[in-house]
Chains A and B, each alone.
Chain A
Amino acid sequence: GAVVSQHPSRVICKSGTSVKIECRSLDFQATTMFWYRQFPKQSLMLMATSNEGSKATYEQGVEKDKFLINHASLTLSTLTVTSAHPEDSSFYICSARDSDRVGNTEAFFGQGTRLTVV
């Protein structure tokens, strides 16, 4: 099956610094990728839709200047958490849609990135 790879799987950073998370589709092209955030014992919440070659679409309540998304190629989207604070500590997950597959197919998820801000 299709593989989505996230890097890093874990990161610890100091408060006030920025952290970049990468999401790659390894064996398919993805014009659209999605970024989710998951707090402990809660469900996934969609943060934004990343579109290759254009601006990301953010969900209500998500600060676009804090969570910078870049989707510069058909296989890579990045999420940068700027000026991170302890409340940004969470599990960040990306998913990708195979651009070449039509119809109602499954979504492919990365393994997630555990961000801890100290």
Chain B
Amino acid sequence: DAKTTQPNSMESNEEEPVHLPCNHSTISGTDYIHWYRQLPSQGPEYVIHGLTSNVNNRMASLAIAEDRKSSTLILHRATLRDAAVYYCILRLAGGTSYGKLTFGQGTILTVHP
């Protein structure tokens, strides 16, 4: 599986935007970029995913570099409830491993009041 690299931790203040980077220089043409987050003592929660174009949903935005070797998850206004570990994961489009996710260490996001 193609690997992703994320900073170990980031900090933000409440109500401010947060940009969480992810490098995936070995991404293949069929890999989708998925983001999940995990709050303490809970299972992961889907945030957003994309292939080539930037994506927006009610939780966040995903900006994908033109060469697809990196992406950025954008939380437009951080809240205390956004404090979590954020995982950037490359997911195959199909095949026998479809649905299987390989988690890296993720980025621990701390949000200050």
B residues less than 8 Å from A32 (CB atoms)? 99
Supposing A93-B44, A104-B91, A104-B93 touch, asked if A46 and B102 sit within 8 A by C-beta, the answer is: yes
A residues less than 8 Å from B94 (CB atoms)? 104
Q: Is the CB of A95 within 8 A of B101?
A: yes
Residue of A nearest to B108 (CB): A41
**5 interchain pairs, CB-CB under 8 A:** A107-B44, A107-B46, A109-B45, A111-B42, A112-B43
Q: Is the CB of A104 within 8 A of B32?
A: yes
8 new A-B contacts at CB < 8 Å, known A36-B103, A104-B93: A34-B99, A34-B101, A43-B106, A44-B101, A45-B103, A94-B43, A104-B94, A107-B44
A residues less than 8 Å from B102 (CB atoms)? 46
Interface of A is mostly: strand
Q: Is the CB of B101 within 8 A of A6?
A: no
Q: Which residues of A contact B (CB under 8 A)?
A: 4, 6, 32, 34, 36, 43-46, 49, 91, 93-95, 97, 104, 106-112, 114
B43 partner, pick from A43, A97, A104, A109, beta carbons under 8 A: A109
Among B51, B99, B105, which residue has the most Cβ atoms of chain A within 10 A?
B99
- In the assembled complex, the CB of A47 is this many whole angstroms from the nearest CB of chain B, namely 11
Taken together as a complex, chains A and B put the C-alpha atoms of A93 and B101 apart, in Å, by: 12
Taken together as a complex, chains A and B put the C-alpha atoms of A26 and B38 apart, in Å, by: 21
Interface of B is mostly: loop
A110 partner, pick from B43, B49, B87, beta carbons under 8 A: B43
Residue of B nearest to A91 (CB): B41
Supposing A45-B103, A46-B101 touch, asked if A106 and B34 sit within 8 A by C-beta, the answer is: yes
**Interface: B17 (CB within 8 A):** no
Q: Is the CB of A43 within 8 A of B103?
A: yes
Q: Is the CB of A6 within 8 A of B49?
A: no
Taken together as a complex, chains A and B put the C-alpha atoms of A106 and B42 apart, in Å, by: 17
Taken together as a complex, chains A and B put the C-alpha atoms of A6 and B44 apart, in Å, by: 13
